[in-house]
Each structure stands twice: as structure tokens, then as C-alpha cells.
Amino acid sequence: MLKVGLLGAGRIAGVHATAITANRGSTLVAVSDINAEAAAKLAAQYGAEARTTDAILNDPAIDAVLIATSTDTHSDLIEKATGAGKAVLCEKPVDLSLARAQACQTVVAKNGKPVMIGFNRRFDPNFSALKAALDRGEIGKAALLSITSFDPAPPPVAYIKVSGGLFRDMMIHDFDMANFIMGAAPVSVSAVGTSIVDPAIGDAGDVDTAVVTLTYADGRIAVIKNSRRAVYGYDQRVELLGSDGLLQAQNMLENTVVKSTTAGVTGAKPTYFFLERYMPAYAAEWAAFVTAVSARAAMPVTLEDGVAALALAEAAALSVKSGESVSVRSVIGWMNS
Amino acid sequence: MLKVGLLGAGRIAGVHATAITANRGSTLVAVSDINAEAAAKLAAQYGAEARTTDAILNDPAIDAVLIATSTDTHSDLIEKATGAGKAVLCEKPVDLSLARAQACQTVVAKNGKPVMIGFNRRFDPNFSALKAALDRGEIGKAALLSITSFDPAPPPVAYIKVSGGLFRDMMIHDFDMANFIMGAAPVSVSAVGTSIVDPAIGDAGDVDTAVVTLTYADGRIAVIKNSRRAVYGYDQRVELLGSDGLLQAQNMLENTVVKSTTAGVTGAKPTYFFLERYMPAYAAEWAAFVTAVSARAAMPVTLEDGVAALALAEAAALSVKSGESVSVRSVIGWMNS
Amino acid sequence: MLKVGLLGAGRIAGVHATAITANRGSTLVAVSDINAEAAAKLAAQYGAEARTTDAILNDPAIDAVLIATSTDTHSDLIEKATGAGKAVLCEKPVDLSLARAQACQTVVAKNGKPVMIGFNRRFDPNFSALKAALDRGEIGKAALLSITSFDPAPPPVAYIKVSGGLFRDMMIHDFDMANFIMGAAPVSVSAVGTSIVDPAIGDAGDVDTAVVTLTYADGRIAVIKNSRRAVYGYDQRVELLGSDGLLQAQNMLENTVVKSTTAGVTGAKPTYFFLERYMPAYAAEWAAFVTAVSARAAMPVTLEDGVAALALAEAAALSVKSGESVSVRSVIGWMNS
Amino acid sequence: MLKVGLLGAGRIAGVHATAITANRGSTLVAVSDINAEAAAKLAAQYGAEARTTDAILNDPAIDAVLIATSTDTHSDLIEKATGAGKAVLCEKPVDLSLARAQACQTVVAKNGKPVMIGFNRRFDPNFSALKAALDRGEIGKAALLSITSFDPAPPPVAYIKVSGGLFRDMMIHDFDMANFIMGAAPVSVSAVGTSIVDPAIGDAGDVDTAVVTLTYADGRIAVIKNSRRAVYGYDQRVELLGSDGLLQAQNMLENTVVKSTTAGVTGAKPTYFFLERYMPAYAAEWAAFVTAVSARAAMPVTLEDGVAALALAEAAALSVKSGESVSVRSVIGWMNS
């Protein structure tokens, strides 16, 4: 039974608390948060204790920590927790700074403790089924990958300003999805972006709609489309053309009811946002972590994966500014080696 | 090249004229109608002559006639045309009277000319693909058949009064579909009906909504649902549960456009009515007739098929009145023998 | 916080234990089972105590019991538990005997405690959305209801023999669904059945495939199709034709992946069986019970609902034997009154 | 009644002959082809005469010509035909050379006769319904357009070599689709391409898989994906994200049959190739031409549209070579002015 400390007591921490408790191989021991009241409330709900982060990290009875705090604390907490001998599952991204994330890699390598990055979408039952079908050879060799990833509504501009920008904050999930499905890093990144949803986002120096094209050494191509606004709900689709066919992972819908009237044939919208869509993914993600830690096996998503996605975000941000294709190797030395 | 005379110049005759002309194995020579002007217009459009029915039947250069006149003339014209040595494709139903239709069978048997009844739905690309999949064994042995057949809107009550009633006028297509797919006649027919769409239809002695259950000697079951009103369009579906799976033939839609908004995800309606839905079926039906006549092969849909469907309609009408299951053998001796 | 005792520790009891624990308004206090070991294990997993059923019923601190024991104990336990002052949620059916179920009604009426019957499908997000759309008038007035309800595989014949038969064991859910959606009891029941899936089921005096037609006083019609075998998974669909349109609740699929190859376009199967399909329904059912008990409001599914469904099952069993339509009033006096 | 001469007697000419004949406003008078036998056969089939091209162009009784000859003859024949006073519908592309196409524009402007370019996809019932929904404001303002356009199988390399390359031969349809839907020319074109389907295509100097991103002056973005190989059939989809929703035009399928077995739920493939998919589009295209010529109205697709699509193809070919974004204005002066 894995004894777990949860760092953070916000909305996503609550989702993780459920997953930890429901899993037969793990138990939630303690919760910390900079807001002590929030930590106390969440701990009480799940029969755990509220503690300070240091108290959690210093407790030798705790085997693992789940980091669900704000992004700017991730790399510090990963380093501290692995230094304290804990296995770590940390929410994405590792850091907004590629340099800082790479420094974190060095520390973690020295500490020698397993770190998994929470790219939850790899555990979505639809995307993981698509990947499994590809790996079984059901569509032959991959050729052209398309990722559609639209949020239902843009966040406040205040959030945009500290988010690191669309590529690091939002498309980073899609860069990881491309890496997951293609099983290799691209060699070049070409991006266009616009603030057509809200000019205030453009004024804040960011884009709200973007298309990024990735090319691979073996001739494959991937294209990622992001928009901060799809009023009909969270639009999360992946489509892969291979030599023997096409795989598509489509949206999950709120329900299966279809109404036919003189106005047409109407079905339910996609599930609203990430909590609704990816709830099963969070449970599967935690289960994969518990299984890997228990078996002392390789992490299913590594810190390197977190850094690689961040490097592609950096390359895309450079490309959208220069209007030119950016070589991945120019951004990060070790990829494509 | 099959030389064809067309009896009738109404709306459905126009559909047949196109099919005859477009088919490389047949040519439209002459058209007749009780309305001479209509015959002249249709003939001119397709480069044919307007004639009297007798002139068509007496012309030795004409190989085949297509009967698209009103129902009350069908059995007379089938007898005359076969007597004149023509191959015949006649629109359904053979007759509203089962006795008259059976008498027609006797005459045709004596005349020895091929007669095909126009159960066009057997040639619908969807239903014929379903039947072909069943025949290839793709779902094992058939067990439970469901036919949904809804018209977009009820006809005028004046039409209802001379129609022979829902079972003979509308569900007769579905009885033939059941016979086509099951490949055997049922042993019993059990029907319920109501005039929930329009009480005036009930006042006219008919029903507008009905469910009929058929049982077969080997334990199979079929259920047919009819409604005179589906405001969203022509609803024509067949579903068959077998020992190894399920086959469904779904509706054809007006187009493939899907719109996702805050109101839901909306697609196009089913094609509006039989002309839109079954246009490809009419062409395929005619092609099958031409092929069979040319090859002197068995008709793909026989006069016996027309009589069998009519017998089931008669049994259903009896059942809905008595509230009891009706034995098919009690209605018609030779079926199930 | 509702304090709950769980009677039964089998598979479905585990599902309920999760729902009770996850609900913020209830807590699982104790579990009993004739197999003491099973009770102990389940109790430990959820932080509850294993007790005898009597100890649970006699504990004044327990507010409500959930009865998830074998069917033959349901009416006894409902009577005992309400006699002990508990609110009750009992798995369906109330009893296999209509007379016994009606006697239970009398006792419960005297005891004056709320009893809810676990017709979980009313809480399925798809069926409840369909019902809500109907109630909002989105398709006008209901006319023709179709319920498709196929199990993936038949149970062992040994189970069939003690099950009460397909109508009481399996179609009872669909009778309740018809009652739920139509909001009225039918006036007549007409059934056909066959043992085409497995002759051994027929030898055991039961059917494995059945079609039941219900007629209503106002002219509406419902048709229910059951099969013990749909090899592709649990097929649970509801379709309702109304004066202004059609509502369909379709199957939930294992995932949304679609594969297009030379062999066709293939998607995932329906979720396998009731645990997979109705997991969200069990949580919603429990939430509705907690809400109603807390608010001292009417139960969302009553004991009367349980008896009504059983009466329709009895009528269907009579109809399949007699080959005639059966009046509901002849089976149970108070319905349709 | 528009009297029509058909230049060309190949496969696509046959499709046009049917459309001309079936249309009540036009009649096919004469057919020419460099292969006199082919012209004679086609003419006979449709009751027309076989003539030389010059004889057709010099016949004052002929109102319009449809040019369905090889691409290298298009601009010459457009010039000759308009010079002879005919209205012209010419198959796409105008020419493989942008300079030649622009010279043709000049001649046509002088001749003053209407010329329509056969971008048949604008008349596809799905794409035209999508465009109409956009124009009705059903998804607010367009933001992000995606066009998926995959052929079922690559043509012979011998064809590739004379085709003008993927961008001029295949994607030109999609460039026109983007122009049609967006209603404006893009300002920049950014392309990547690969010969992952067949290295021999790469050896011939072409690509077989490509992604092109277009940006617009007002911030909109379009992305076009092409592949020469989608083994499951002709994949032709358009998807448009707007401020108030999403529009998708999906594939047309061979039939509506769905089979559910233990292997999954399988439907039919997309219609195989352009003749199957776009047959209704060819008829609608011809009808639009007849209507416009008869009404002396503006052509629904102009020679300028043909030149504009060609200019985007040229820009894409430049971009894929340079690895940089190409300004449309650098390729063709008058666009975006």
C-alpha cells in the first residue's frame, strides 16, 4: 500500500485525492497547501491529515508525493521531494523555463528517485486505445498526425499574462501527445498564431489560435491546431493517417441522446472541459504511477518527456515570431540525437 | 436493347422513365396514360411516343411494359400485358384484394410471361447490403428482425379511404422486407394499431400508427413499426439481431454537414420521402429487371412475393380487429406449406 | 450525513459501497452478509464494520439501509427494515411473486418509512436526458416507444430456473422504463417469446428472446425487445416517436476510436454489461435517494413502481402462454384506475 | 435551351454528357476528341454528333462549350472558344503555368464571353451546405479552417511527372475550397511536404503528403492536408471553427449499414473516389452554369478563381522548397490588393 502525500489542495488536487483513495494500491496520508484551511478541508474529506509541505517531505512513512501546486513551484518541489527520497508524480508543466526544467533533470538524475510528469491525456481511454491500435500495426506505418485541441473559453487575460503563453500553457499537452504517438521528436517546428478570439490576448503578447506543423526525420508530418474558444465545449481529437488506414479518437459526449425534429438531428455536446473529459484519465494515470512505483519499473511518462514538450513549445514560440521554421536541435541539444 | 412501354405518366412514372433511359440495356419507346396530355409531355421529354395502352400492348416490337398506373388497374394490366406476350414490371401492390391478386397469379401462370413486382426497397443499396451481409453469414443465424418505417406526414384522409388501409398501403413494403430478409413466411401475425396521429384517420376506419409482430416456424421473430408521421423526414431503418451480431441499415441523410454550437451537435435530417430516399433503388430495380429478362432468368421479385405481402397485410388487419394473433395459414393456404 | 447499513456484500454491493462513500451526504457504517468473510472484507475496504443484519437494523444510529441481497429476501428485509424505522433503498425486483410484493406494500404503508426500488436505469444519464427532453415538450406528445434491451450473453440455465423467467428477471427493467417514460400504466400486454438462443432455456420453461407490445388508454403504443444474447455487448437503447420528433438514447461505447481501413470504418463496441454501462447510474440513483431522504421528499422510484413493473411481467408471461393480449386490469386491480 | 458542344470524350467527359443531357435547360449537340472513335461512341450514346473541335467552335448554333480535354490544351481552347463567341465551362486547372493562365485572362477579358472554371467541389451538396450555413451566420465569424483531402491511391509516377506536382494537380482543389469558404485570398502560404507514400514520387521531384498553412489579413488561419493515399477511400472533409461554433462536412459513405460483432461496430467506407463522391456535384455545377448563362449573370466560379488557386499552388511549391513562409503578393500582384 503506497502511502501518499498530496502537495496542493486546489481543484485538481481534489481530483487526484479521489484517484488516490479509490486505488486499492494507495492511501492518502497527508495534504499540504499554502492555504491551510483548504488543506484541512480536503484532508478531512478523505480521512487524511493536513500538514506542512516540509512535514510531508520529512515523514519517512510517506512513499510518494503528488505535486499539484502552482507551476512556478514544480521544479523546486520535484527536486526537494526526490532529495527526500520520495517517488513523485508532478502535474505538467515541469517549468515555464526550459533552462530551469533542464537543471531540474540534472538534480533528479542525481537523486535517483522516480519522477512522473502528469500528462494525463496519454491515459485518456480514447487516446491510449488509438496508440495501442497503432502499436499493434492496425494502420501500418504512421504518416500524418493531426491533433485538434480547443478549449471551451479563454481564461482571463490576467491568467494569460503569467501562463507562459499558449504554446507552453496549452499546446504543451499536444506536443506531448505528438511525442507519445509518434515515438520520436520532430526535427523542425513551424508555427502561425493569431489573437482572433480576443485582441486583448494579442495585446498581452500571446496568441489564442495557432497551427503548428512538425516534421520528422523519416518524413512523417504532424499538425496541431489550438484555439482558446470552442463555444460548444472541449474539443479534443486526434487523427492519424497511416499506410494501411486512419485512426481517429473523437470527442466524448455529455450523453447519447439524439433528437430528430424539423430542425435537424441533434446530439449532445462534447463534455465541457478537462475535468469532465479527463476524469477517467486521472484515475488511469495514478494507477499507472502506482503500478510502476510498486514494480520499480520505468515511469510511464518521464521528466525527459516533460522537458521535450517544453522544448517544442519554445521552438513554436520562436517560429511564430520569426515566420520561419525552427530546428528542434537549435533549441535543445539532446533531442534527435 | 429491351424496348419498353410505360403505362402511366404520373410522378413515379417519371422516375421510371429516367431509369429506363439511363440504363444501357433498355430504351423507352412509348408512354400511355388516361390523361393524354400527361402522356404526351412525358413521352416528348424522353424522346418516346405517346400511345394508347392497347396500342402499346399490341405492338410486337415492344418487349416489356412497366405498369405505373393506379392500384385498381394493376391486376387487369398484368393479365393483359402477359397475355400480349410482354415481360412486366408492375408497381406494388398487385391489388388491394387478396382474392383478386390470387386470381391474377393463375392467369399469369397460364400466360407464361415473367412478372416482377416493384418492391423497390429490396434494391435500396442499404437494405440490399444488409441482406448480402446476412447471406454471407456475417452475423450468424438471424433471430430478431426490427423494421422501422415512418412516413414524414400522413396523406389526405380522402386518400386513406381508398388506400386499402395502412397495412395494405404502407406496411405492405415492410411485410415484403420481412419476407425478403427472413427468406420465409411467418406462421403468425399479431398487430396493434391506433389513430393517434389524426383521429380523422380512425374515423375513416384506419390506423396511422401500428406495431406488428411476426413469428416464424423456427423460432425467429420480426417486429414492424409504422407511423404515418415522423416530422423529421422519412424514417426507414432495418435492424437484425443474429447469433453472431447485429446488422443495422440506417437512414440516408440530406447531407453530411454537422454543426456544433452551444445548442448541441446538429446534423442533417433524413432524406425527405421515398423519391429522395429510393431514387438509387428505382434505378437498381430496373437494372435487375432488364438483366433478368435479358438472361431469361427468374424474376428477382415475383408475383408470388406480391401476393405473400398482401396476405400478411390481410392477417394484420384481422389481428388488429380481433386483438388476437392470426395464423398466416388461415389467410392463405399455400404459404408455410 | 446519512448513516448507512449495507445488507449484502456481493458484486453489486461493492458498487453501492463506492457510491455511498463517494457521496458527500452519506457514510457507510456497517455491512452484513450471510457470508461473514465477504462482509468483513468489504467493510474493511470502505472503513466500515461487519455486523449481522439484525445488529444493523437494531442500531438506532443507522438512518438507512441499502438491500443488495438475493431476490428472495427482498420483501422480508424491506418489511423488517421499515419496521425498524429505516429508510430503504432495495435492489429490484421487490419479489418474484406479485402477491408477495403486494403484501409487502401493505406492511410498508403501515410502517410509514420511505422505500425506494433500485431501478437504476431511470438514473442513467442518457435515459434521464431523454425523459427530461420529453417532459420539456421537445418532441411534442409521445406516440410510439421502443425499448431495445439485449444482454451480452445468457446466464447459466441453473440461474434461469430460479430467475422467475425472462419477463420478471430481465424485462422487468424495461417495463419500469416504459412506466417511467410513458408516465402511465398500459391497458394491455401482448407478448411473443422464443428460446432461439439456447433450446435448454426453452426446456427450462423460459424464453430467451421476446417482443412485448403495450397499448395505452390514450392510444399510445410501446414495444419492448429482449434478447439474452448480443455478442457485441450490452445493447440498451430507447427510442420515442412523438408528434414533433424522435428521441433516441443510444449505447455508450467503450471508447471513441474509429479505424478506417480497406475493411470498413470500425468503432468500439458498446460497454460490455450493466456494471460498465450503469456505473454512473448507480451513483446518481444513490444521490437521488440521499437527497429525497434528507429533504423528506417523495421517493423518486416507489415500491408501487416495483409492483407495477412486476404486474406487467406477470401479464407478459400470461400472454406468451395464451397467444392472446392480456388486460393489465385482469392482473392487478389498482392499475389504470 | 442551351446548345452545347463537348470538347473531349474521356471518362470525365462522359460524366458531363450525362449532366448536360439530364438538365432540362441544355442539350448536347456535338462531341469532339483527338480520338475520333471515342468521340463517335460518346456522341452516339447521347444522341449527338461527332465533329472536329473547329467545326464545333465555328457552328453559330452552338451556344456553349464544355472543355474536358487534357490540361495542356485548356488555356488555348478557352481563348479560341471565347473568341468564337461561346460561353465556356472548362475543367480545372486553367493551366499549369501561372503566367500562361494570366495571359489567358487577358484574352478572355478582351473576348468578353463568360468563362466558368470547373471547381466541382464548390457544388458538392455537403460543402455548399457548409458554406451556406457560414453565410447565414450560424457559427459567427470564421476563425480556423481545416481541409482534409486524401486520394485513395497515388497515380502512376509517369502521371506525377507531367502533373505539375501535388500542389497544382491535387491541392489546387483545396486552395479553391479555401478561397470559396474564406471569401478572400490569404496573405502568406507556408508548406511542408514529404514523399512518405512512395519514394519514387520524391525521386520524380514531387511530394505525396503535404500540409499547407494559410494566414489571412484579418487573422484567420487555414490548414490544408493532402495525401495521395488513404487506403479506405476518398477522404474529403472540411471543418471550420467560428466564433459561435464549428461546421464539419464529413465524408459520404458507400451505404448506411452498420455491423456490430465481437470485433467492433463497423460501417461502410467513404465512397471510393471523385466520380462516386462528386457525381451530384457535377450535375449541380452544370446547372449553375446553365442558369448563369441563361440569366446573363456572373459566373459562379470565374477564371480569376482559377488563376487565384494556381497562384496559391505556386506559392506552396516555393515554400516547401525554401522552408519559409511565402507572401502571396510576391507571387501574384493583384491578389490582396
For all residues of chain B together, what is the average pLDDT?
94
Does position A231 have pLDDT exceeding 80, yes or no?
A: yes
Asked if the Cβ–Cβ distance from B139 to D259 is below 8 Å, we say yes
CB-CB neighbours of A180 under 10 Å: 20
Of D211, D215, D231, the CB nearest to A221: D211
When mean pLDDT is compared across A203-217, D148-162, D270-284, the lowest value belongs to D270-284
Query: In terms of CA atoms, which chain A residue is nearest residue B261?
Result: A232
Q: Does B5 touch chain A (CB under 8 A)?
A: no
User: What sign results for the dihedral spanned by CA atoms A51, A52, A53, A58?
Assistant: negative
Q: For domain B122-276+304-331, which CATH number applies: 3.30.390.30, 3.30.360.10, 3.30.70.20, 3.40.190.10?
A: 3.30.360.10
Residue D225, chain A, CB below 8 Å: the answer is yes
Mutate to test the interface with C, among D260, D262, D271 (most CBs of C within 10 A): D260
What residues does each domain of chain B span? Answer: 2-113, 122-276+304-331
Q: What is the mean pLDDT of residues D299-321?
A: 96
- Which residue bears the cell 511518462? A301
Tell me, what's the pLDDT at C222?
98
Chain B neighbors of C323, CB-CB under 8 A: 188, 324-325
Which residues touch C223 (CB under 8 Å, ≥6 apart)?
B211, B223, B225, C144, C145, C146, C147, C211, C212, C213, C214
pLDDT computed for residue C138 by the predictor: 97
Looking at the complex, report in whole angstroms how far the Cα of residue A272 sits from the nearest Cα belonging to chain C. Answer: 15
Section D278-296 average pLDDT: 94
Q: Which chains touch D (3 or more CB pairs under 8 A)?
A: A, B, C
Compare CB distances from B129 to D126, D257, D262 and report the shortest one's residue. Answer: D257
Tens-digit pLDDT profile for residues C38-84: 999 888 777 689 999 999 999 999 999 999 999 999 999 999 999 99
CB-nearest to C265 from D262, D263, D266 is D266
pLDDT in tens, D172-195: 999 999 999 999 999 999 999 999
A146 close contact with C: CB closer than 8 A: no
Is pLDDT above 90 for D323? no
pLDDT at A47: 67
Cis peptide preceding A93, ω within 30 of 0: yes
Cross-chain residue pair A256–C249, CB shorter than 8 Å: yes
Q: What per-residue confidence (pLDDT) applies to A335?
A: 62
pLDDT band at D337 (very low <50, low <70, confident <90, very high): very low
Residue of D nearest to A320 (CA): D325
Tell me the shortest Cα–Cα distance from A19 to chain B, in angstroms: 31
Give the mutation candidate from A198, A211, A324 for the D interface (greatest D CB count, under 10 A).
A211
Considering only CB atoms, A249 lies closest to which of C126, C257, C260, namely C257
**Residue B75 confidence (pLDDT) above 70:** yes
Report which of B283, B221, B245, B276 is spatially closest to residue B130, judged by C-alpha positions. B245
pLDDT in tens, A309-333: 999 999 999 999 998 999 999 998 7
**What is the topology classification, in CATH, of domain C122-281+304-331?**
Dihydrodipicolinate Reductase; domain 2 (3.30.360)
What pLDDT score was predicted for residue C332? 81
Question: For chain A, what is the mean pLDDT?
Answer: 94
Q: Three-state DSSP class for C219?
A: coil
C324 in reach of chain B (CB within 8 A): yes
| C187 neighbors C216 (Cβ within 8 angstroms) | yes
Mean pLDDT of B125-136: 98
Model pLDDT, residue D222: 98
pLDDT at A46 over 90: no
**pLDDT digit string, tens, across residues A61-104:** 999 999 999 999 999 999 999 999 999 999 999 999 999 999 99
* Cα A274–chain centre separation: 11
C-beta separation of C307 from C334 below 8 A = no
Say if C196 is an interface residue toward chain B (CB within 8 Å): yes
The pLDDT value recorded for residue A18 is 81
Cα D291–Cα D294–Cα D299 angle in degrees, nearest 5: 60
- Could you report the per-residue pLDDT of A188-213, keeping only the tens digit for each? 999 999 999 999 999 999 999 999 99
At B193-221, the pLDDT tens digits run 999 999 999 999 999 999 999 999 999 99
Query: Does residue D4 have a pLDDT over 50?
Result: yes
C262 neighbors D153 (Cβ within 8 angstroms): no
- Whether chain A has a CB inside 8 Å of the CB on D132: the answer is no
Any CB–CB contact under 8 A between B246 and chain D?
yes
pLDDT in tens, chain C (337 residues): 799 999 999 989 988 988 887 787 888 899 999 999 999 988 877 768 999 999 999 999 999 999 999 999 999 999 999 999 999 999 999 999 999 999 999 999 999 999 999 999 999 999 999 999 999 999 999 999 999 999 999 999 999 999 999 999 999 999 999 999 999 999 999 999 999 999 999 999 999 999 999 999 999 999 999 999 999 999 999 999 999 999 999 999 999 999 999 999 999 999 988 888 888 899 999 999 999 999 999 999 999 999 999 999 999 999 999 989 999 999 987 665 4
Question: What burial letters (b/e) apply to D260-277, b meaning 16+ CB within 10 Å?
Answer: bbeebbbbbbbbeebeeb
D260 at the B interface (CB within 8 A)? yes
φ and ψ at residue C189, rounded to 5 degrees: -130, 130
Residue C259 and residue A246: Cβ atoms within 8 Å? Answer: yes
Give one DSSP letter per residue of C241-300, joined into a string: EETTEEEEE---BS--EEEEETTEEEEPPBPSSHHHHHHHHHHHHHHHHHHHHHTTPPPS
Class of domain A122-282+304-331: alpha beta
What are B150-168's pLDDT values in tens digits? 999 999 999 999 999 999 9
Q: Which residue of chain C is at minimal alpha-carbon distance from B232?
A: C245
> How many whole angstroms separate alpha carbon D325 and alpha carbon D312?
12
Cα separation, C149 vs C228, whole angstroms: 9
pLDDT score for C154:
97
d(CA B176, CA D251): 32
Q: Do the two domains D2-113 and D122-276+304-331 of this chain adopt the same fold?
A: no
Instruction: Give every CB contact of residue A272 below 8 A, 6+ residues apart in sequence.
Output: A152, A233, A234, A254
In this prediction, residue D107 has a pLDDT band, given cuts at 50, 70 and 90, of very high
Average pLDDT over residues D317-336: 86
pLDDT, average across residues D131-154: 98
Confidence of residue A337 (pLDDT cuts 50, 70, 90): very low
Helix (H), strand (E) at residue B327: strand B326-327
Tell me which amino acid residue A276 is: E
Report CB contact under 8 Å: C129, A268: yes
CA distance D254 to chain C (A): 10
Query: Shortest Cα distance from A272 to chain D (angstroms)?
Result: 14
Query: Pick from A250, A268, A269: which is nearest to A259 by CA?
Result: A268
| Confidence at B48, pLDDT banded by 50, 70, 90 | confident
Dump strand ranges (E) for chain C: 2-7, 26-32, 49-50, 64-67, 87-91, 115-118, 142-150, 188-194, 209-215, 221-227, 235-242, 245-249, 257-261, 264-267, 326-327
Residues of chain C found within 8 Å of residue A245, distances taken between Cβ atoms: 259-262
> For residue D316, what is its C-alpha cell?
506552396
Q: Is C18 on the interface with A (CB under 8 A)?
A: yes
Kindly state the percentage of chain A with pLDDT values over 70.
98
Assess A219–D contact: CB distance below 8 Å, yes or no.
yes
Tell me the CA distances in angstroms from A277 to A152, A274, B288, D295, one per residue in order.
12, 5, 50, 53
- Does the beta-carbon distance from C269 to D260 stay under 8 Å? yes
Interface test with A, best of B231, B236, B262, B265 (most A CBs within 10 A): B265
Question: D256 and B251 in contact by Cβ < 8 A?
Answer: yes
CA C224 – CA C238 distance, rounded (Å):
9
pLDDT at C113: 97
CATH of domain D2-113: 3.40.50.720
Q: Alpha-carbon distance B213 to A18, whole Å?
A: 50
Name chain B's partners: 3 or more CB pairs within 8 A.
Answer: A, C, D
Chain D contact for A253 (CB, 8 A cutoff) = no
- List of chain A residues whose C-beta atoms are within 8 Å of the C-beta of residue B261: 231-232
Give the mean model confidence (pLDDT) for residues A12-39. 89
CA distance B278 to B252: 10
pLDDT band at residue B47 under the 50/70/90 scheme = low
